[in-house]
Structure 1
Amino acid sequence: MSKDISDPRLIRLAMAYETLHPARLDDLVSLYSDQAVFKDPFNEVRGRRAITRVFSHMFKQIKEPRFTVLEGASNGYNAFLLWELKFLRDSGQTMAICGTSYLEFALDGLVLVHRDYWDPVEEIFAKVPVLGSIARYLQRKLSATP
């Protein structure tokens, strides 16, 4: 974890993500408000129970996921975390997804809004053999640069 993070709320959250595994999922989710909204490119859910389902599903879908928090910043009740998620593909090759999370904290210091921003086309689909060629073609076609 980056040593630049000074906000205790972000430190707790970063530590929970960096030590996350199925047996510690409750530790992470306890840092979220009962009515927290969590959104990423594949999910939009509300509440601790639904957030738990999202991460339980992640553990079923990918092997050995590990988050590393690279940077963090906060301004009052708003914050950002820059992170990397590494996991193993079926082939044993390590994959990495880089992203950022926008956070809003409630008055009690719990996460009220968690919005992840990362590009599933670049980070996942472009690395899958058949989908990758289609994704790269579309990226070239839609790019403003030749």
Structure 2
Amino acid sequence: MTAAIERLKSLYSDFLAADPAGIASVYAQDVVFKDPVHEVRGLEAMQKYFAGVSQNLQECRFQFDFAVQQQGRGTLWWTMYFRHPRLSGGKLLQLRGASLVEIDEANDRVVSHEDVYDLGGMVYEHVPLLGSVIRGVKRRLAENGNAS
């Protein structure tokens, strides 16, 4: 793994403790960051986005389960552990996902980062009333898929 990937893993190991200097040591000035909620362009926009999404989190850390890298591209599979007062009564939740990254090898910085995960599993399923509806829909879809 490149130093950029190792710095990325370190940064996310305790996401709430990440400081702007740490983010700048991982990502290029012209980074493009995408997740199921937003797409932001540029380091400053990314720092603002991270500050906003972490505002109400009580805990957020990533455990990296597996990573591969080849020719300036990497894929990291992870489990995120997070706690938010409005989701599942503030219980510690977990979400599996993956990060697809591209690295500027000359500058050893991430230039593109896309997080892939189930947004419903992260948010919607943990909101009272809405969560039971989403789980019911998933259950019915699974039952219909097994009916063939």
Asked if these proteins are the same fold (TM beyond 0.5), I'd say: yes
4+ runs of 1 displaced by more than 6 Å? none
Instruction: Name the SS for the 2:113 alignment partner.
Output: strand
CA distance 1:36–1:85, change in 2 (3 Å): same
One-letter amino acid of the counterpart of residue 103, structure 1 = V
Identity %: 28
Q: Distance in 2 between matches of 1:123 and 1:20?
A: 16
Q: What secondary structure is seen at the aligned counterpart in 1 of 2:108?
A: coil
Unaligned runs of 5+ in 2: none
Query: For 1:72, what is the secondary structure of its paired residue?
Result: strand
Counterpart contact for 2:34–2:113, Cα < 8 Å? yes
Q: Which amino acid aligns with 2:146?
A: T
Aligned pair 1:145/2:146, yes or no? yes
Counterpart residue number, 1:10:
5
User: What is the alpha-carbon distance in structure 2 between the residues aligned to residue 62 and residue 141 of structure 1?
Assistant: 32
Amino acid at match of 1:116: D
Q: Aligned-pair distance for 1:24?
A: 1.9
1:22 Cα shift? 4.7
CA distance in 1, matches of 2:21, 2:137: 40
Structure 1 contact 77–106 (Cα < 8 Å) conserved: yes
What is the root-mean-square deviation of aligned Cα atoms in Å? 1.9
Q: Which runs of 5+ in 1 are unaligned?
A: 1-5
